[in-house]
Chain A
């Protein structure tokens, strides 16, 4: 009986802890969503209320009709898509080579690639700016996508390398014994097996690009290239912050990612943990 009570108590404690963590995580999101439906008088009402006293779509109307946010969202999708595709192509090639080929310096090389992940973005900002500038790609979506590759490539290369290393090389050898080339072994064996991991890696790259602000704020300026996180700053000018529109734009910016994550959650979690344990 005592053991049953103890077990029940610890389970209740875990649920309370989880509830607190959930509240901690979701409270700002709730404030963001409800503020986006508040008129200006409600946002600064005293005492503060979570729910709007009057619900309004005006902030969303401002976002979609009186700002560059629609175009910026399109730009974000273009940049994120380019980054995801390019990251997968480059990182699958690099990750495969690091996992399958043994050559002098392969391990130091892999470590050097990972170093890119620990260098602060502000440190690489200036060299990347000059690189993109020399390519005449400043203020273009493809130029920004190039810059974002500096963020995604190091970690994704390691993610993919671990995915491939976890697949027994004998599977590829069997395909080659059956008369296939190494390319055939990769496309018929390795790619399908690590597809969930690649989906996770692609989504990770897209996410990194989607919410990146520093590079986007420095390398883009016109509405033709400005991405959504930068467009968010339009609602704050020299003397005023339009909190309602800022929150509405934040919801618009967040919603597609939440939907994407919910749809691909299974692949994402599986892909990130795949290859973590070899056995």
Chain B
């Protein structure tokens, strides 16, 4: 029976499309299957990519038998990508990951032990205090930290001078008093990042709480007390409710606070060194000081990035060699916008500017690694919400502190 024209065209188009899809699949399978078996794949975030290209060229020159393939990730996608890759077993060989997520992967046995890399060339005591310990579980170290940062107090010296304040606040009482004095006209004493990623706000909450008596134990678990939480919530939520922290805090993330600081509308805030660089680039008046604490310098929480090697990597030795190369002080210095994780790498002139002195002191003497237990990560949103309730005037700091204690206790009891 003859096939009619339209039927022939329909069947032909459908058949050709299916054949084209099948052929594309086959071509991809063949191309990707015949890849070089000796290539180390390194997932690197966008912001490190260009520097990483130069470092890899140097590494390949020194190690002609190892090739490195760079794959870009972005800050917003790396967590999902890494988690799915590790769960599936189809992994790259080196991943640049946030230190806060390392323990979660290590707990599931998904990371290779990198303890063997630490020694004469890479002494563990050359790293920021407590940093290597926070990545070590039962004697095995599961990541090589390379970038480390904490907050210090960023302030506008012109606004301080106009308000008759000669020195930045060193204690909480001074911080509150100065913030009230600075809240005038268009300017407010400070602001908090209630909008945006909830961990931005809870990080500040923890800095106050730890300064006020809470601790973070060796397993990366915060040990809060109701009193330390109450004091911390009072400083953040209470400040917004009272008005010496900007009511705009409900709409501000870290970027928003920095922009208002650059406009002279926020007089001081705990922020990272990147904000200082940006203020200097914009020609804004800026100075830095250690974080205030209850009766002296406060404690900052250290956050940063590290290299991890998946347990399922098929090139573990070559990957370890790449990590060893990247852990050199000069490599760390090149890949760092904040501070390198190794103290010896901080000797680079970029990290010795006057505005960074407060950060260097904070990191060396008054900082602890941020909690990295996955159960704390799961508690971040409800803790954030409690602080927000106080800022809205719907709860007292004492009520919120009790609720936070209950939330955290419940999370760690599970």
Contact = CB atoms under 8 A, between A and B. Distances in A.
Interface string A174-196: 00000011011011100100000
Interface stretch (A10-18, A154-162, A233-241, A251-259): A233-241
Interface stretch (B23-31, B164-172, B364-372, B374-382): B23-31
Interface string A77-90: 00000100110010
Interface stretch (A26-34, A129-137, A202-210, A266-274): A129-137
A45 B260 CA distance: 8
A184 B4 CA distance: 7
Nearest to B262: A44
Contacts of B17: 85-86, 89
A237 B274 CA distance: 12
Interface in A208-258: 214, 217-218, 221-223, 230, 233-234, 236-241, 243
A177 B141 CA distance: 77
Q: Which interface class (under 10, 10 to 19, 20 to 34, 35 or more) fits A?
A: 35 or more
Q: Which interface class (under 10, 10 to 19, 20 to 34, 35 or more) fits B?
A: 35 or more
A172 interface: no
Interface in A92-129: 125-126, 129
A240 B77 contact: no
Nearest to A133: B90
Interface string B59-75: 00000000000011111
Given A46-B260, A129-B90, A191-B10, A223 B24 contact: no
A142 B24 contact: yes
A236 B32 contact: no
Interface in A1-44: 40-41, 43-44
If over half of A's interface residues share one DSSP class (helix, strand or loop), that class is named, otherwise mixed; here it is: helix
A214 B274 contact: no
Interface stretch (B249-257, B293-301, B326-334): B249-257
Contact of B29 (A46, A136, A184, A214): A136
B330 to A, nearest CB: 21
A241 B253 contact: yes
Contacts of B10: 183, 186-187, 191
A126 B88 contact: yes
Contacts of B256: 44
User: Top 7 nearest A-B pairs by Cβ distance?
Assistant: A44-B259, A136-B32, A233-B76, A239-B274, A217-B77, A133-B90, A233-B74
25 contacts: A45-B263, A46-B263, A46-B265, A89-B14, A126-B84, A126-B87, A126-B88, A129-B88, A129-B90, A130-B88, A136-B29, A137-B29, A137-B32, A142-B25, A143-B28, A183-B11, A184-B4, A184-B6, A188-B6, A217-B77, A218-B81, A233-B74, A234-B74, A239-B275, A240-B274
